[in-house]
Amino acid sequence: MKIANRFAFTVFCLLTPFLFAQKSDLGAWYMYFGNNKISKKLNLHNEIQYRNFDGIGDLEQLLIRTGIGYDLNENNNNILLGYGFILSQPYVNGEKRENIEHRIFQQFITKQKFGRLNIQHRYRLEERFLQNDFRMRFRYYLGLNIPVTNKEMLPKTLYISAYNEIFLHLDSPVFDRNRVYGALGFVINKNMKIEAGYMNQIQENRNRGQVQIGFYNNIPLTN
């Protein structure tokens, strides 16, 4: 409990100035990720992301994703077919607009471990059905988790999390964006963990930071 309380206090101290600021160029993303076994080989992916322009209340984007994955081997190399619904509310010339996107995606995840270093590679192809357009995009994600208070990612372990993800269009312009992330995480138990950190998103003509709070749930839906 002492470790959990220290983690919660540290996160509160870091995020309070952003969450209660009336005006800020810093966004905030609140995220839930579920990856739940439904059989020995199959898993259900479910995800909700609530993204704000400021700390809270000014919706930028609501993203809902789901999919069915299949483990190729015991090392958890996983392929997945999924669907995403994205509601965006951007500002255009000072006025809020509303855009809806339907997205189909295919991905492959592979994991590696070197000592304390846990590495995840994710390759994702997206077919994006926009309101007035269709685009395809490739994403490569490299994620790292390093336990701090234990040698392994065991319950009640504090850990450092980081990732870099690049987005590339399959037509011109090729470069879409790049995301760089760093966070402090806490393993609640063998099936749940929480992270709080900062992500910088780099686009061709824009660079913007996001506070992120993420909850991860891997509770199996089968015995």
**Read out DSSP for 107-142?**
EEEEEEEETTEEEEEEEEEEEEE-SS-EEEEEEEEE
Residue 215: partners with Cβ closer than 8 Å, 6 or more residues away = 31, 32, 33, 192, 193, 194
Cβ(169)–Cβ(137) under 8 Å? yes
Distances (CA, A) of 44 to 72, 88, 92, 207: 15, 25, 37, 34
Task: Give the whole-angstrom CA distance, residue 1 versus residue 45.
Answer: 30
Beta carbons within 8 Å of 194's beta carbon, 6+ residues apart: 185, 186, 188, 213, 214, 215, 216
Residue 32: per-residue pLDDT: 98
Res 17: pLDDT:
45
pTM for the whole thing? 0.88
* pLDDT value for 22: 39
Name the maximum alpha-carbon separation found in the chain: 54
Residues in the chain with pLDDT values less than 50: 12, 14, 16-24
Task: Give pLDDT, residue 8.
Answer: 52
Specify the DSSP element, H or E, that contains 4. helix 2-19
Q: Are 142 and 112 in contact (CB under 8 A)?
A: no
- Is there a contact between 15 and 213 (Cβ–Cβ < 8 Å)? yes
Distance CA 67, CA 72 (A): 16
Which residue, 62, 28, 54, 30, is CA-closest to 210? 28
For residue 32, which of 188, 185, 215, 193 has the smallest C-alpha distance?
215
Which of 12, 7, 69 lies closest to 218 in space, CA to CA?
Answer: 69
